[in-house]
């Protein structure tokens, strides 16, 4: 693929994954979602309309914000009251994202470093534009001659999201109350059969952040990115059924695949970040270098 076409494909990916920031997006019509006066998300108007049926939980939009009723004054009260509403809405089939209910709890807070104000079912977070966090692991090898190759996974065809697409070697969402390193070790073991004594050698290198919107809501996400250099003889193995195969690919092949529709979009961003940090994409030869870097680190 010609370099100019490759660059344009990558820019399209980054625009798509940051479309909430673009002119004409739904951001202008969204309501802020606030708890105790602190913004924790963005609620589309059609969702706010549904929530207005539950005045014992949600205060009607005023001043551009939807908030929780003041009587819900603790982590547990907020979590249980919102979950009761979501369980009811789940039975109605009007909000399609709730069909993907996972029984996974995600923390809700203004910033990652803040104490959680409540937990929320993972499948519902896009209705409230609540920021979601995850861990992505770049597994790679370096040959005797210094050639770098990257391990990619192909997602199972039965996955709820992005079935059959290429992915990082291992990745997973951060559940409420679970640490980053613990999640990393668990996902490495469960998805790729990477033993703990190897997984713990992964080191944090970046976060990749973006916000997109689609018919299911608003998705502000931030991924904690780790690099894990694997022994040349090590091969990840399919374990929990979430992956159908692993491939060890040279950098040039990985670059080509990034510009196709065969890659899970946020995982493509994580790999692009790897290429930039390891100088496989450089500012002297890539005219869109600054646009790439900016597109990987967009935060509200």
**What is the CATH classification number for the domain harbouring 117?**
3.30.750.160
The per-residue pLDDT for range 251-299, each reduced to its tens digit, is 999 999 999 999 999 999 999 999 999 999 999 999 999 999 999 999 8
Is the confidence at residue 1, as pLDDT, over 80? Answer: no
Among 128, 151, 170, which residue terminates a domain? 128
Residues 75, 153: one domain? no
> For residue 253, what is the domain's CATH number?
3.90.79.10
Within a 10 A sphere around the Cβ of 251, how many other Cβ atoms? 18
Is the confidence at residue 2, as pLDDT, over 80? Answer: no
Residues 123, 143: one domain? no
pLDDT for 106: 97
d(CA 103, CA 120): 10
The per-residue pLDDT for range 16-53, each reduced to its tens digit, is 999 999 999 999 999 999 999 999 999 999 999 999 99
Taking the mean position of all CA atoms in its chain, how far away is CA 70?
31
3-state secondary structure the chain: CCHHHHHHHHHHHHHHHCHHHCCCCHHHHCEEEEECCEEEEEECHHHHHHHCCCCCCEEEEECCEEEECCCCCCHHHHHHHHHHHHHHHHCCCCCHHHHHCCCCEEEECCCCCCCCCEEEEHHHHHHHCCCEEEEEEEEEEECCCCCEEEEEEEECCCCCCCCCCEEECEEEECCCCCCHHHHHHHHHHHHHCCCHHHHCCCEEEEEEEEEEEECCEEEEEEEEEEEEECCCCCCCCCCCCCEEEEEEEEHHHHHHHHCCCCECHHHHHHHHHHHHHCCCCCCCCCCCHHHHHHHCECCC
R_g over Cα of the chain = 20
Q: How many domains does the chain have?
A: 2
The per-residue pLDDT for range 46-93, each reduced to its tens digit, is 999 999 999 999 998 778 999 999 999 999 999 999 999 999 999 998
pLDDT for 222: 98
Residues 116, 146: one domain? no
d(CA 10, CA 260): 9
Is the confidence at residue 217, as pLDDT, over 80? Answer: yes
Among 128, 158, 183, which residue terminates a domain? 128
pTM for this prediction: 0.95
Q: What is the mean pLDDT of the chain?
A: 95
Residues 152, 244: one domain? yes
Residue ranges making up the domain that contains 169 = 3-21+132-295
Cβ-contact 266, 225 below 8 angstroms: no
pLDDT for 161: 87
Residues 124, 136: one domain? no
């Amino acid at each position: 693929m010609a370099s100019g076409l490759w660059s344009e494909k990558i820019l399209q990916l980054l625009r798509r994954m940051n479309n909430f920031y673009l002119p004409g997006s739904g951001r202008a019509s969204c309501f802020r979602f606030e708890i105790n006066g602190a913004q924790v998300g963005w609620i589309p108007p059609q969702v706010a309309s549904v929530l207005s049926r539950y005045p014992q939980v949600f205060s009607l939009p005023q001043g551009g914000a939807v908030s929780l009723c003041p009587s819900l004054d603790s982590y547990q009260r907020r979590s249980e009251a919102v979950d009761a509403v979501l369980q009811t809405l789940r039975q109605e089939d009007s909000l399609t994202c709730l069909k993907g209910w996972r029984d996974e709890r995600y923390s809700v807070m203004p910033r990652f470093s803040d104490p959680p104000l409540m937990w929320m079912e993972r499948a519902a977070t896009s209705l409230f534009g609540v920021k979601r966090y995850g861990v992505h692991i770049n597994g790679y090898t370096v040959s005797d001659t210094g050639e770098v190759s990257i391990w990619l996974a192909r997602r199972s065809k039965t996955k709820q999201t992005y079935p059959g697409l290429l992915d990082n070697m291992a990745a997973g969402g951060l559940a409420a109350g679970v640490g980053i390193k613990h999640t990393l070790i668990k996902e490495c073991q469960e998805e790729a059969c990477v033993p703990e004594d190897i997984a713990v050698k992964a080191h944090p290198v970046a976060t990749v952040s973006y916000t997109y919107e689609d018919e299911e809501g608003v998705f502000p996400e931030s991924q904690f990115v780790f690099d894990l250099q694997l022994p040349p003889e090590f091969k990840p193995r399919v374990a929990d059924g979430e992956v159908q195969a692993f491939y060890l690919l040279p950098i040039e092949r990985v670059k080509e695949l990034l510009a196709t529709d065969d890659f899970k979009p946020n995982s493509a961003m994580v790999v692009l970040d790897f290429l930039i940090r390891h100088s496989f994409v450089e500012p002297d030869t890539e005219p869109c270098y600054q646009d790439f870097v900016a597109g990987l680190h967009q935060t509200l």
